[in-house]
Chain A
Amino acid sequence: MPGVLPPATAPWPERRRRALADPTMRAAVAKTTRNLAQGKASAYASYPPGEAMRVRAVTARRSALAHIDALLEELTGNVEAHGGYVVRAAGPADVGRYVLDIARRRGAERVVKSKSMATEEIALNEQLEAAGLRVRETDLGEYIIQLARERPSHILAPAAHKTRGQIEALFEREAARTGVTPPTCDATPELTAFARRQLREEFLAADVGITGGNFLVAETGTLVLITNEGNGRMTTSLPPVHIAVVGIDKVVATWADLAVLLQQAPLSGTGQLISTYTSFITGPRRPGELDGPEEFHLVLLDNGRHELLGTEYEDVLTCIRCGACLNVCPVFRTIGGQAYGSIYSGPIGVVLTPLLGGLDHAPELPKSACAMCHACRDACPMEIELPRYILKLRRTEIEKSMEPLTVRLTFELWGRLWASPAGYRWTARLARLGQRAFMRKGRLTKAPGLVGGWTATRDSPPVAKETFHEWWRRRKPGSLT
């Protein structure tokens, strides 16, 4: 079964237009991506073991997918042996129902969350809020965009597009709403201190903590959670109930596998050798322990993942959400994450959004949001063939939209003509004659028919006055002119 993703915020032309018309956001995204890409390059350069570990990490992730069903079973057994609960969720509604059941049983009202792509993918906040729960995102960037009611502009830096002035204004509004002292200025320490005070209250009052997970280790039933701020530790240490919602693709077999994987996300993502906090959580608080949650629940989310196993797209499930492909993508660097209209943006978003949400979900992404430069393929620590996947998806999409007979016949004819040298030469000559009517200042600006789709948004260079073949035939042997 394919999964379900939240609907796009607006139609593609509108999202694209809005992004291109926002110079502040574009400058911020350009700066963030440049810094992160440089950070990654210098991190691997300064840390030679990183590359050797990366190569082994790719193997570890792929082999985990090959044995995923057995690993998930082993994982489940081990989490349960430590007193945790495990449940499989096919899609968004299953997770919502499960979490709400727990909340009802516990009489819970307040939920704190640590940044998680899986829960954004299933719009869990909206589901819980609709049922009357109060949900607070606690990663500083997520907190900011939750207050602004926006979607993230980058996987790792959700609020990269927000200026400090905008953040101060959001915090002032929040201070007025909750009746607390607002930040006194827009300096980073002051804004950070405000968020600390507000979110500390939330942590201490929360009934349920919800996190995602970076990895799951089958052999011990351990959840691995990586953060820099410490909100992951807060969410898993303070509320009496901890629920982790994790994609089934996050499972690895052993600690030896985890050992080579653990540093790849920070190395490729932020250029750190390791994140500030890495937590290994194996079940809830044990008898006699002074702190930690009474209940630990692991929700294993499918949402279209299982269906990709065994297909040509399987390797996309080895993604560790490091964001490296976003940072090098010329399209992402130009339009930022929000224009993708999906929770997942950048090259991985172009692939993952239609693969998880169904091919109809975001056909414009593979069709339009890729320049085929292959930079993402080189950047991806898991060696995922993103450009090849994008091309495949594009082809599938185009084939579908080629239904009208005339369009199909045109391509058919074009294909036949260009299959023979004579046909190719003949069309070149024809185009040279025909293009005169559509040229302005030596560029093709408004072409008819199919080519019009191309020239509607950009100019095209004209067909050359003399083709290579023609030049070759008339040139004197040995001469270069």
Chain B
Amino acid sequence: MVAAAQAGVAHMSRTGVVDRLGQEGARGLVQEFMNNWVALSGDAWLALGGVDDVRRAIAEAAGAMVAERGPGSPRRVVAWATEELAPLDLPGLLTSLGFECVWGTDWSGGAGGEGDPSAAPTARPADAPGATAAALWQRRNLAATSDLGITTCSWAVAETGTIALYASPSAGRLPSLLPTAHVALVRPSQIVRSIPDGLRLLADHRAQRGGLPSAVNLVSGPSRTGDIEGDFAVGVHGPRRAGVIIGEW
């Protein structure tokens, strides 16, 4: 599991956007987060001009991070089904870009009404009933054959270039894990300085919801290894490309 370093790319060409960040502190954190994410060989886009700007950045990220599959075989995308993503109309955007939206995007409500995401932990769930098991199986195979996963995040850490992903009925573990590329949308206000600062936000979540999510994943760049002669390589298991779009929408 040894890791070595190699830098990714920052896309910050849109002029003037940094000025919209307002106060100095927030701007510093955004800059630091992007720099560190890119240093971990992730990709970063800054899109602070509202919904359209964020949609433009998603299109750009999808184009940059996902190779064409060839004629007649559309690229696949999976996304979280969180309400936060609804205003961006990802299915519309990605279909127009020639992507096939396999889940999340076509799964309005996401949870299928099976349970309350924020409910306190319950007793042991029984084995999933047949229909649900089949649906889960299918969904996971679709995720495994997807090119791109799109999620938001709960917070991000400037110092380390880290995003935090909480599992919930509308926010699965797999869209950020199985596709070849993963892109996460991060709001500037979600960026904190340090890991302990982020963990304090997790503690707040726990206090408000009466418990922790079943899975929280901190992600810092793309999957990496140095296990072959100490040589840096990305994507041995998780995404080969990991992007963040820092935006307001």
Q: Which residues of A contact B (CB under 8 A)?
A: 28, 31-32, 35-36, 47, 49, 53, 81-83, 115, 138-141, 144, 156-160, 162-164, 167, 188-189, 191-192, 195-196, 199-200, 203-204, 220, 222, 227-231, 233-234, 236-238, 255, 258-260, 262-263, 270, 272-292, 294
In whole Å, how far is A188's beta carbon from the nearest beta carbon of chain B? 4
The reply to whether A164 and B228 contact each other, CB–CB distance below 8 Å, is yes
> Chain B contacts of A36 at CB under 8 A?
2
Sample of 20 more A-B contacts, CB < 8 Å, known A230-B223, A272-B220, A294-B128: A31-B230, A49-B194, A81-B121, A82-B121, A140-B228, A159-B228, A164-B228, A188-B233, A229-B224, A230-B237, A234-B237, A237-B215, A259-B196, A275-B1, A282-B121, A284-B125, A286-B214, A290-B174, A291-B140, A292-B167
The reply to whether A280 and B215 contact each other, CB–CB distance below 8 Å, is yes
Q: How far is the CA of A159 from the CA of B227 in the complex (A)?
A: 6
Show 24 residue pairs from A and B whose CB-CB distance is below 8 angstroms, ordered by the A residue. A35-B230, A36-B2, A47-B159, A82-B211, A83-B123, A139-B227, A140-B1, A140-B236, A156-B1, A160-B2, A164-B228, A188-B232, A196-B237, A228-B225, A233-B177, A259-B196, A259-B199, A272-B3, A280-B216, A283-B214, A288-B116, A290-B103, A291-B172, A291-B174
Across the interface, B238 reaches (CB within 8 A) one of A162, A229, A258, namely: A229
Residue total for B at the interface (Cβ-Cβ under 8 A): 74
B218 CB-CB contact with A under 8 Å: yes
The reply to whether A281 and B230 contact each other, CB–CB distance below 8 Å, is no
Q: How far is the CA of A260 from the CA of B195 in the complex (A)?
A: 9
In whole Å, how far is A193's beta carbon from the nearest beta carbon of chain B? 8
In whole Å, how far is B42's beta carbon from the nearest beta carbon of chain A? 10
> Chain B contacts of A49 at CB under 8 A?
159, 194
Q: How far is the CA of A36 from the CA of B227 in the complex (A)?
A: 13
> Chain A contacts of B139 at CB under 8 A?
290-291
Chain A residue nearest to B206 (CB atoms) is: A220
B112 CB-CB contact with A under 8 Å: yes
> Chain B contacts of A259 at CB under 8 A?
195-196, 199-200
Interface residues of B in 197-246 (CB under 8 A from A): 199-200, 202-203, 206, 211-233, 235-239
B108-131, CB under 8 A of A: which get 1 and which 0? Answer: 001111111101011111011000
B105 CB-CB contact with A under 8 Å: no
Q: How far is the CA of A255 from the CA of B240 in the complex (A)?
A: 31
Q: How far is the CA of A214 from the CA of B194 in the complex (A)?
A: 20
The reply to whether A281 and B214 contact each other, CB–CB distance below 8 Å, is yes
Q: How far is the CA of A31 from the CA of B226 in the complex (A)?
A: 13
The reply to whether B231 and A188 contact each other, CB–CB distance below 8 Å, is yes
B156-167, CB under 8 A of A: which get 1 and which 0? Answer: 010110100001
